Structure 1
Amino acid sequence: MTSISQNLGSAYSEQLPSLGQSLCDILGFFGLKRLYGVGGDFVANLINALDGPLQVLPSSNEMHAGFSACAQAELTGLGACLTTYTVGSLPCVSAAALARTEGLPVIFLSGAPGEQEIHGHALHHMVHPASGWHTDLNAALNAFKALGIKAERLQGQRHQGQPNVAAARFFELVCEAVQTRQPVYIEVPRDLVKQPTQSLRLPANLAELNAMTRLDLEGAGLIADDICSRLVRAKYPLVYLGERLRMNGALLQRIVHFCQRLGLPYATSWFAKGMVDESHPLCQGAYNGVFSQCRGQGYIEEKADYVLEFGTAIYDSDTNNAFGSGTHAIDKHTNKTLLKGTARWELDLQAVMDALDKANLPVRNLSPAGQRDAALSDTPEETASVGYANLAGAINQFQRGNGQDFILVPEVGNALFAAFALEARASSVGRSFLANPWYAAMGTSLPYARAIADELNAIGSPQPILLITGDGGFNFQSNELINLQKQNANLIILYMRNNIFHLGKCGDAPIYACNDERFDVAKLIAAYGGQYHLCQSVTGLYAALEQGVKGGLHLIEVPTSTAPEQQSPIAIKLNTYISAKNGSPEAMVAWDRLCSSRPPQPQ
């Protein structure tokens, strides 16, 4: 048959890149600098092709590679993990579900059997029973598709006289991920990596790519006129910032600057916590109904008479909307404008902001002077033991007193819900609070910390990371410490130890016992080159944090009690709510009492 050279000429044929080269060029065009993954047979050619132009970094397992890629997407706008066929890619499904739920552009890239080695027999990586009558090569593709994720296997040459179009299709799939902020799963047959593929002329930059799909949206001026009239009439307006702005830093900065220029108070949803500096006087913190512990809760629930809501989810999440408890004052506010951002890249919100920035609006100072929530202002007794009840107050005090801003990474569990009372401050990487609010996926904080440490190192920032975890979450993922050791990460692990899964605990079954009294975490952290600190008081916590911010890997063990007075207010409310929903009569009475004590909604 005719070859590419014979059909299209030797000059054209000789300039064709390999698929591996094209993948590097495409990922580099989108700003990707590193991938996280685990090696394997079917992915070996991909590793060799990508390593050099990109950093191909190890993870302790495939699920952690996926979680690190999720954090990378949060920080840089695109994440990627690299695994082998099925036995490597299937463990990434939990991370893929997280990326889909949180709207994160993550490339789940997997090696696959070569097109020339598929002959109808079962390969050792396949999900295939010995009694099966047919082979199934698509188990991983179907698993990712079941999550609603676009999943494809690249295809090679179908005619000897034509180059394959695998690189072009790869570019289209990555565009899909970046422009829709959703993950994609791509399998690459290993025999394609070194084969020539059709050469591409990439856009000059991302701005040019986005301009190719930009729409001119009409009517934004009319919306802005209505907003302006409401802002002028309102005595106590509030701007409420949603989680969809996390991935659009330029638009977020415009909105925050708009608020600060006009003196308008603003708050964020829980899922958006950490995307603004909460120490600014106009910032009211992260609000979530009865579960809130933010400085502006009184202003939001008792005074705000107009709400301008930007970039919240189209379909409300129970977690982000006070767990569907009906106590979220902004949800029920009768005078508000909802700007959800229904166009790609929030172009509709940008159009409205273009008009608002030109409007002649009065400048006023509506910062609720002196209004601070107890968790943000009360200084814990220095001789008191540390528990979830005073943890946020102690860390907030340390940040203010030492002029030290942490990047906060709480693990799912009591640590996460206590952390919502922390003051998320300025950050070198644009985010100061990175958590996994889709809290069915426990075990993300150490993989998240890895990605944050890599990004801090890339920009030369010494800002410390403070990871807060219970022993249950820590034991899920402690094997990732090996990679933090290898990267010489500056990380403080605040290890809150009570030896049980306490959040949502509704009985005494052995399943809640997540640890053993004999477990010696001091020896564990020493094995990974870290320093151990035992914290017996608030003063001891301050001393350990002062050592931790000097650099290196530190673990601070904090023995904690499960007594109600030692729990954070948010966790107490959440446990009461969970027990009430599970039918506990005592919890139902306590929950009704808690909700009936709420202040009335302003009209």
Structure 2
Amino acid sequence: MTTAAGHRDITGGEALVAALAAHGAHLAFGIPGTHNLEIYRHLAAYGIRHLAPRHEQGAGYAADGYARATGRPGIAITTTGPALMNIAAAVGQAYSDSVPLLVVSPGMPLRHPRLATGLLHEMPSQSGAFGQLTAFSHRVSSVAEIGAAVARAFTRFRTGRPRPVHIEVPLDLLTAAEPAGPPPLAPLPLPVRPPPEAVRAAAEALGRARRPALVLGGGAHGARAEALTLAERLGAPVATTANGKGAFPESHPLSLGVRLHTPAVQKWLADSDAVLAVGTELAESDLWSAAPEIGGTLIRADIDPAQMYAVLPADIALVADAREALRGVLDGLRGLPGGPREGRAGQAGSAGAAAAVRAESGAATGERDAARLPYLAAIRSALPPATVLTSDSAQCCYYGALPHLPVDPPGRYLHPTGFGTLGYALPAAIGVKAAEPERPVVALSGDGGLQFTVQELATAAGLGLPLPVVVFDNGGYGEIRDEMAARGDVPVAVDHPPLDLGALARAYGGHGVHADSPDALAEALRTALTVPGPTVITVPEPR
């Protein structure tokens, strides 16, 4: 029925899907369940494709990978109770790494009593639980409110720091038909520009600096061109955080890569007379230690005002979109009398200084990392420049690929940083591949981390698209094993019996090979990029 005001009777499930489609959603990840079938009924009619991982945690990581690679919010659909709890780890990771992830789920009926009744999937408060993991959890109270809740979520994604959001639709509203109008749309915000006086102060501090430094975090990916121009104009070496990897070309002579955790890079920061940190928390998960001393002026550019007084308070605060902040600084430098001074002894001297810091940083960890380096070089040699790499919270990734596998734009490297979850790499790679089927995507993991979500090999096989999965196998949880040994403890519950991961991949419908040398790894990777389905490539790692 359609009213004179343009409202028509529509179920909550259709209202939800219509609102998602109106905001440009065209792919969702999730698993059907008894309580969410009314959502699934309408997806195809509204042009939303669906991919079904084998576990809700995998759905969350896939939506996260999709969001990081495309810049669009990732959509995940769960049912009530245990399904929603299954995705919680992925939501926590998205919150930690500032990823726009929208989780939609049914909830208990509108008038469900507060006392437990034994209804299927019943729990005291889904919205209360997810309110602690997200920017907000919105439990709607009518069909008409569903569109507003979705618009609120997309407004949150488009303004300020991205965070995950949860929308709960009571299960009786999903099937109830109520009058509702066209879904409201989240406004397209204007770019957030920094205050002119702060831009002038930042430009002056950087322009007179003899030892300028740039630190780029995940929030700097939208300002890659500006960051490159600024670094070259200042002659400033550039370090990135784990989430910032790929925001600055790591083949550039001014790049220090992902080495904020090394004493050499922390000393470089302390010795710099002006440090510009863009889109980063300067967090312990990037530094692997307490925040270093900053000897000079600290300029922070971030969309999140809270970062201006968190961890290392800003001397000059540029609360703005990263691109607008860097454009403002570049304009300010052009207006300085005589133009900006180049850091140290000009471009050549700055590149030499960066090379010296890189060499010192590498020497400090050379013995630990030496065995992985030939394999990482083999990976790099086999991959096209635009490849997206996803990684796990594994030794081969944070000791290996993050600092030692260079990535240049338009390539990307997606890593679960702050929350430090395991099992991210494979489903995140699936999310990227589902969004961009023609783009090369490679997952990097350890044998322990892969087994958290190894069932998603079936999902990857179902896609029928090439997806190499490189697994450094050290027979268990290598990092925890090493930490136990360092404490003088007898290792407990960290050693896994041998497992033929290649055979497991074949059982799921993929391929599996063992690479016992760097040359074999490079050849296996090149082949895996051409054959349909996932290819698990195991690499032996010393224990």
Q: After TM superposition, give the deviation of residue 102 of structure 1 in Å.
A: 1.8
Inter-CA distance 10–202: structure 2 relative to 1 (3 Å threshold): closer
Q: Which residue of 1 aligns with 2:512?
A: 532
Inter-CA distance 10–311: structure 2 relative to 1 (3 Å threshold): closer
- Structure 1 residue matching 2:94: 3-state secondary structure: helix
If you compute each CA radius of gyration, which structure gives the higher value, 1 or 2?
1
Taking the TM superposition and a 5 Å limit, the aligned residue runs for 1:465-480 are: 465-480=441-456
Aligned mates of 1:559, 1:215 — CA distance in 2:
48
Aligned mates of 1:49, 1:401 — CA distance in 2:
42
**Does the 8 Å CA contact 2:7/2:180 hold for their aligned counterparts?**
no
Equivalent residue for 2:230, pick from 246, 258, 265: 258
Equivalent residue for 1:555, pick from 519, 536, 542: 536
Q: Which residue of 1 aligns with 2:28?
A: 35
**Does the 8 Å CA contact 2:239/2:260 hold for their aligned counterparts?**
no
Q: After TM superposition, give the deviation of residue 24 of structure 1 in Å.
A: 3.2
1:421 and 2:394 matched? no
Q: Which residue of 2 aligns with 1:182?
A: 163
Q: Which residue of 2 aligns with 1:358?
A: 331
Paired letter, 1:81: A
Q: After TM superposition, give the deviation of residue 121 of structure 1 in Å.
A: 6.9
**Does the 8 Å CA contact 1:279/1:423 hold for their aligned counterparts?**
no
Aligned mates of 1:240, 1:303 — CA distance in 2:
14
Q: After TM superposition, give the deviation of residue 442 of structure 1 in Å.
A: 1.1
Q: After TM superposition, give the deviation of residue 342 of structure 1 in Å.
A: 3.5
Q: Which residue of 2 aligns with 1:131?
A: none
Q: Which residue of 1 aligns with 2:424?
A: 444
1:371 and 2:371 matched? no
**Does the 8 Å CA contact 1:19/1:197 hold for their aligned counterparts?**
no
Q: Which residue of 2 aligns with 1:290?
A: 262
Aligned mates of 1:268, 1:395 — CA distance in 2:
19
Residues 562-601 of structure 1: CA deviation (Å, up to 9, x unaligned): 2xxxxxxxxxxxxxxxxxxxxxxxxxxxxxxxxxxxxxxx
Q: Percent same amino acid at aligned positions?
A: 19
Give the TM-score of the pair, scaled to structure 1: 0.74
Inter-CA distance 375–62: structure 2 relative to 1 (3 Å threshold): farther
Inter-CA distance 479–357: structure 2 relative to 1 (3 Å threshold): same
Paired letter, 1:311: G
Aligned mates of 2:232, 2:72 — CA distance in 1:
26
Taking the TM superposition and a 5 Å limit, the aligned residue runs for 1:327-338 are: 328=292, 331-338=293-300
- Structure 2 residue matching 1:503: 3-state secondary structure: helix
Residues 421-467 of structure 1: CA deviation (Å, up to 9, x unaligned): 2334245xx5511011135421111111111111221xx33x2x232
Q: Which residue of 1 aligns with 2:436?
A: 456
Aligned mates of 2:225, 2:20 — CA distance in 1:
26
Taking the TM superposition and a 5 Å limit, the aligned residue runs for 1:460-539 are: 460-461=438-439, 463=440, 465-505=441-481, 506=484, 507-513=489-495, 515-517=496-498, 519-539=499-519
**Does the 8 Å CA contact 2:109/2:173 hold for their aligned counterparts?**
yes
- Structure 2 residue matching 1:308: 3-state secondary structure: strand
Equivalent residue for 1:320, pick from 270, 286, 289: 286
Aligned mates of 1:235, 1:147 — CA distance in 2:
43
Tell me which moved more, 536-545 or 79-88. 536-545
Q: Which residue of 2 aligns with 1:151?
A: 137
1:64 and 2:58 matched? yes
- Structure 1 residue matching 2:444: 3-state secondary structure: strand
Aligned mates of 1:490, 1:446 — CA distance in 2:
13
Query: Over aligned residue pairs, what C-alpha RMSD do you find?
Result: 3.5
Q: Which residue of 2 aligns with 1:230?
A: 205
Q: Which residue of 1 aligns with 2:38?
A: 45
Q: Which residue of 1 aligns with 2:314?
A: none
Aligned mates of 2:270, 2:82 — CA distance in 1:
54
Residues 140-176 of structure 1: CA deviation (Å, up to 9, x unaligned): 222212336522322126xxxxxx3332233223423
Aligned mates of 2:460, 2:51 — CA distance in 1:
11
Aligned mates of 1:444, 1:245 — CA distance in 2:
22
Paired letter, 1:356: V
Inter-CA distance 215–233: structure 2 relative to 1 (3 Å threshold): closer
Q: Which residue of 2 aligns with 1:411?
A: 392
**Does the 8 Å CA contact 2:391/2:424 hold for their aligned counterparts?**
no
Aligned mates of 1:252, 1:197 — CA distance in 2:
46
**Does the 8 Å CA contact 1:109/1:185 hold for their aligned counterparts?**
yes
Inter-CA distance 416–175: structure 2 relative to 1 (3 Å threshold): same
**Does the 8 Å CA contact 1:150/1:184 hold for their aligned counterparts?**
yes
Tell me which moved more, 264-273 or 46-55. 264-273
Paired letter, 1:420: L
Paired letter, 1:43: N
Aligned mates of 1:448, 1:523 — CA distance in 2:
22
Aligned mates of 1:414, 1:375 — CA distance in 2:
21
Q: After TM superposition, give the deviation of residue 532 of structure 1 in Å.
A: 2.4
**Does the 8 Å CA contact 1:37/1:56 hold for their aligned counterparts?**
yes
Q: After TM superposition, give the deviation of residue 238 of structure 1 in Å.
A: 1.8
Q: After TM superposition, give the deviation of residue 536 of structure 1 in Å.
A: 2.0
Paired letter, 2:426: L
- Structure 2 residue matching 1:443: 3-state secondary structure: coil
1:210 and 2:189 matched? yes
Aligned mates of 2:115, 2:298 — CA distance in 1:
61
Task: Identify unmatched segments of 5+ residues in structure 2.
Answer: 307-317
Q: After TM superposition, give the deviation of residue 478 of structure 1 in Å.
A: 0.9
Aligned mates of 2:92, 2:383 — CA distance in 1:
39
* Count of residues in Structure 1 that have an aligned counterpart in Structure 2: 505
Equivalent residue for 1:106, pick from 94, 101, 124: 101
**Does the 8 Å CA contact 2:9/2:179 hold for their aligned counterparts?**
yes
Paired letter, 1:320: D
